[in-house]
Amino acid sequence: MERRNMLGLVVVTTLMFCSLSDSSRLFNNPERRNLIANGLAATPAMGWNSWNHFYCGHNETTIRETADALVSTGLSKLGYIYVNIDDCWGEIARDDDGNLVAHKTKYPSGIKALADYVHGKGLKLGIYSDAGYFTCSQTQPGSLGHEEQDAKTFASWHVDYLKYDNCDNGGIKPTVRYPIMARALMKAGRPIYFSLCEWGDMQPALWGNQVGNSWRTTDDITDNWITMLARADVNEKYADYARPGGWNDPDMLEVGNGGMKKSEYIVHFSLWAISKAPLIIGCDVRHMTEDTKEILSNAEVIAVDQDPLGIQGKKVRAEGSLEVWAGPLSGYRVAVVLVNRGRRRRAITALWEDIGLHPSMAVEARDLWEHKTLEGHFVGELTATVDMHSCKMYVLKPIG
């Protein structure tokens, strides 16, 4: 079994890449630091985004009804407050003054009116742009070369969140393009959460906390078991770089989109939570199944993601298809996820020495998916039998 110390530093081969060395020197310059010190993202963002389910098929009605559904289902009370419009919301060209313009058919009332509606529900509105000349869909202009103008536009519309993509970038490094928008947002006169959707191009975990509130560590997620796990694995390598104010982002949630079984979606949600990932729903919340609502509404799992200690969990043991993920929580507690990636039921053991507890420590174990505290106390280890493509998730609390 491969063993890794949960508290050890992740070794990143930064100096192997000249370009990354250049970016390190750039961001170690004191004058370059804290470009996005906006006071946001004390915990990972929670909300919804249009892309995973609707792609370009969203409109003003979609967004309004989604805001309504976040409230009526109780998801907003659990922390899902961002309603984020992804690509394809704008016209193909800017207006005569160079301003971005909302699509006249899809968003006839304009983004400001939509923001007012969303704010009236106690929620926040997010928008999408690109650190290139056009967005990834090629349906609207990007913000490269227009950063200050666009940041002011977003602020004037009362936007609260910007997802900033990486297409059609002219070959200019993201370490050059993304800080420009960070500075522009800070001068725009409104706190705007800055989500760097750079796809892990130049290991944004190494420099993202000086530029954004979260940064994509991976390529796009798709709604299947293998890709979801691959995104979790890549993201886990950068665990030591996450902290309050800036988070690693393995991409948005696929829970509820239909490509995985319920047990696989539970693994998905559990790994995102222990990884302190932004919890951005990607399904149609207006028409959720009960299983989908149950997963997304698990307040105990959400609490792990939102724990104020803000330390990302890691994969501390791996034996073939059997894994132990763990991370410290506030109050001297530890979150543990036992994952069975294989095709038959297996027992998995979490050893205290691997998860940061003293071997003689006695704990009580709370099962976060069964919503029950296990009988008795546990010392030294915890073993559970886990079904194929499933997981168990616990919070371990020291006794006394």
Active-site residue, from 68, 116, 220, 233: 220
376: left (phi over 0), alpha (psi -120 to 50) or beta: left
345 vs 340: CA distance, rounded Å: 8
4 vs 63: CA distance, rounded Å: 44
Active-site residue, from 86, 150, 165, 251: 165
Q: Are 83 and 67 in contact (CB under 8 A)?
A: yes
- CA 334-7-313 angle, 5° bins: 50
165 part of the active site: yes
Q: Where are the beta strands (DSSP E) in 102-181?
A: 124-130, 161-165
Q: Exposed, middle or buried, 154 (CB in 10 Å: 0-12/13-18/19+)? A: buried
Q: Are 300 and 395 in contact (CB under 8 A)?
A: yes
201 part of the active site: no
Per-position DSSP letters for 17-71, written without gaps between them: -HHHHHHHHHHHSGGGS-TT--S--SS--EEEESHHHHTT---HHHHHHHHHHHH
Inter-CA distances, 27 with 41, 114, 132, 165, 208, Å: 20, 36, 21, 21, 10
Instruction: Report helix angle 174-186 to 147-156, nearest 10.
Output: 40
- Contacts for 245 with CB less than 8 Å, ≥ 6 apart: 40, 41, 42, 209, 213
Q: Residue 183: phi, psi to the nearest 5? A: -65, -40
Q: Are 396 and 382 in contact (CB under 8 A)?
A: yes
Tell me how far the alpha carbon of residue 178 is from its chain's centroid: 18
249 vs 88: CA distance, rounded Å: 22
Residues with active-site annotation = 165, 220
